[in-house]
């Protein structure tokens, strides 16, 4: 079984900025969330930890690693999407300046592409490749990554993901993944609810 978790919060998350490939460390609250995730990981019997190469994910994985006595494995394909011109910008400002594009982002529209950045389809493909690698290894495995990565994983198994803002930091999300999983886009994925 794969369990996904969003990294602990950073100061940029708390300020509601778009992070993308920006690389801030965890905040004090983020370190607390990592400690809580570690307790959940122990209870879940985690035997392997995989993490994005970004600092916030690696710091979260390191806290969990101490609790479960497993060395985290960094997997480049788990990195957050390249968010181009939006990186470092306030979500409120983007929503005010580009409301239609921001709605498409929030709804995980299949055709969404970050301005000067990565497409959602590209991230789904990259995330699917990573999860296939992880699923072939020791289980149960914890994947510490990002909101965009979690959304992409849910899309890959045919589930409509919640908006990024609804994905809590440090919460475990079970993900049924098997060889050949991924590549399907859920019906209505781009529709607003």
Active site members = 7, 80
Rounded CA-CA distance 120/65 in Å is 30
Q: What angle separates helix 28-44 from helix 55-68, to the nearest 10 degrees?
A: 40
H-helix or E-strand spanning residue 141: strand 141-145
| Residue in this structure with the two tokens 């995330």, named with its chain if needed | 127
Strand order in the sheet with 73-74: 73-74, 48-51, 141-145, 2-6, 172-175
Torsion angles phi and psi, residue 127, rounded to 5 = -65, -40
Q: What angle separates helix 120-135 from helix 147-156, to the nearest 10 degrees?
A: 80
Rounded CA-CA distance 120/140 in Å is 27
């Amino acid at each position: 079984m794969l369990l996904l978790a969003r990294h602990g919060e950073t100061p940029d998350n708390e300020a509601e900025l778009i992070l993308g490939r920006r690389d801030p460390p965890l905040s004090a609250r983020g370190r607390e969330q990592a400690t809580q995730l570690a307790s959940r990981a122990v209870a879940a019997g985690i035997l392997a930890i995989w993490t994005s190469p970004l600092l916030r994910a690696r710091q979260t994985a390191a806290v969990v690693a101490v609790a479960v006595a497993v060395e985290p494995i960094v997997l480049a394909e788990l990195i957050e999407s390249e968010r181009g011109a939006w990186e470092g910008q306030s979500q409120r400002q983007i929503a005010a300046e580009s409301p239609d594009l921001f709605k498409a982002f929030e709804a995980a529209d299949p055709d969404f592409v970050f301005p000067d950045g990565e497409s959602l389809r590209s991230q789904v493909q990259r995330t699917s490749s990573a999860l296939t690698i992880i699923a072939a290894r020791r289980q149960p495995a914890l994947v510490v990554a990002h909101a965009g990565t979690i959304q992409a994983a849910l899309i890959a198994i045919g589930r409509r993901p919640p908006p990024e803002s609804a994905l809590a930091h440090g919460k475990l999300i079970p993900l049924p993944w098997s060889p050949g999983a991924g590549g399907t886009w859920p019906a209505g994925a781009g529709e607003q609810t």
